[in-house]
């Protein structure tokens, strides 16, 4: 198709018209660009003014450790030596349990006793095999926790730690078999039924022919069951001469005396008066720990008594 002169003139006119619009389009584009830049500047300013949210930090408190399950194993009554707190011991009765955490648990109720006990006694305990001479300090410390279900009603005593004098013999060869020269006892309060702790010991020559009078030296009026209590005892057996009895519970002294006679005065007399095979009898002291309860007379134990407690963190230093 051949363009006419009229077509050519029309094309030239349109081109000039478009050329005239170019400056206007450029002006509009510049205006829009300025608006975009202004909006970006406003966004930047808003970001700078906004409060800074700190990055999340890890919790400095570690999660609680899962509860430790303690398992217990009953120790056989076979005379096997058990080392506890640097001292030698042996289970004297059943129901002495060793825990996987190094603790020891004792339990006993009416009818449960040692094979050498009369029926009125209740017992579950370790007997100490380490001997302590006259004037030698006996120390034991640790933590005890009395089972909340324990019942002491009817018991005339319930010892958890004792110190015995090695039983010297009379002229007829029969051992004296005296009571412990020292004991930490749990007893029920006659009014409330709640247990209290007392310290008793042999403290003086007295007038008795074989052993000195037992005296109450200190009391803790209310022992909370089911919670830990620390104890620290130091005893020096003076064989009737001055020694020491010191017992601290939860950091408080129940008794701390070294100005009083301690122990049995008869042991030295019998030791020398009735030698065995030409040698003086042994007069050492030894520890016991566990449950020793009951009545002093009668043919039956207190029927309601049922006690359990745990010892741990034991030390002799």
Q: 31 forms bridges with which residues in the sheet? A: none
Distance separating alpha carbons of residues 284 and 116, to the nearest angstrom = 21
Closest by CA position to 200, among listed 185, 179, 189 = 185
Q: What is the pLDDT of residue 163?
A: 95
Distance separating alpha carbons of residues 202 and 200, to the nearest angstrom = 7
Q: What is the pLDDT of residue 131?
A: 95
Successive 10-residue mean pLDDT values, the chain, 317 residues: 61 57 64 76 73 70 81 94 96 96 96 94 96 95 96 92 89 83 90 87 59 77 92 94 94 92 85 88 93 92 95 96
Q: What is the pLDDT of residue 62?
A: 78
Q: What DSSP string describes 100-115?
A: TTS-EEEEEETT---T
Q: What is the pLDDT of residue 7?
A: 65
Question: Which CATH number does the domain 74-315 belong to among 3.10.129.10, 2.40.10.170, 1.10.3720.10, 2.60.120.200?
Answer: 2.60.120.200
Q: What is the pLDDT of residue 13?
A: 61
Residue with tokens 């919670």: 227
């Amino acid at each position: 198709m051949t363009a006419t002169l009229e077509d050519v003139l029309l094309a030239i006119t349109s081109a000039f018209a478009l050329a005239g619009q170019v400056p206007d389009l450029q002006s509009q584009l510049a205006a829009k660009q300025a608006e975009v830049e202004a909006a970006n500047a406003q966004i930047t300013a808003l970001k700078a003014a906004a409060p800074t949210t700190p990055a999340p930090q890890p919790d400095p408190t570690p999660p609680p450790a899962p509860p430790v399950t303690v398992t217990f194993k009953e120790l056989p009554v076979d005379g096997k030596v058990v080392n506890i707190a640097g001292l030698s011991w042996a289970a004297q009765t059943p129901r002495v349990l060793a825990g996987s955490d190094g603790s020891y648990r004792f339990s006993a109720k009416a009818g449960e006793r040692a094979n050498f006990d009369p029926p009125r006694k209740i017992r579950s305990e370790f007997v100490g095999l380490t001997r302590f001479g006259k004037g030698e300090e006996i120390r034991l410390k640790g933590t005890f926790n009395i089972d909340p279900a324990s019942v002491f009603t009817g018991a005339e005593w319930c010892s958890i730690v004792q110190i015995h004098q090695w039983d010297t013999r009379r002229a007829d060869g029969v051992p004296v078999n005296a009571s412990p020269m020292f004991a930490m006892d749990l007893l029920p309060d006659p009014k409330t039924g709640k247990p209290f702790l007392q310290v008793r010991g042999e403290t003086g020559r007295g007038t008795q022919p074989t052993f000195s009078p037992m005296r109450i030296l200190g009391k803790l009026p209310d022992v909370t069951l089911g919670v830990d209590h620390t104890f620290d005892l130091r005893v020096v057996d003076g064989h009737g001469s001055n020694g020491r009895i010191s017992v601290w519970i939860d950091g408080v002294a129940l008794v701390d005396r070294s100005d009083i006679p301690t122990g049995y005065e008869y042991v030295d007399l019998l030791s020398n008066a009735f030698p065995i095979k030409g040698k003086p009898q042994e007069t050492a002291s030894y520890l016991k720990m566990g449950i020793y309860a009951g009545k002093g007379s009668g043919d039956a134990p207190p029927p309601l008594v049922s006690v359990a407690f745990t010892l741990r963190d034991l030390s002799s230093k």
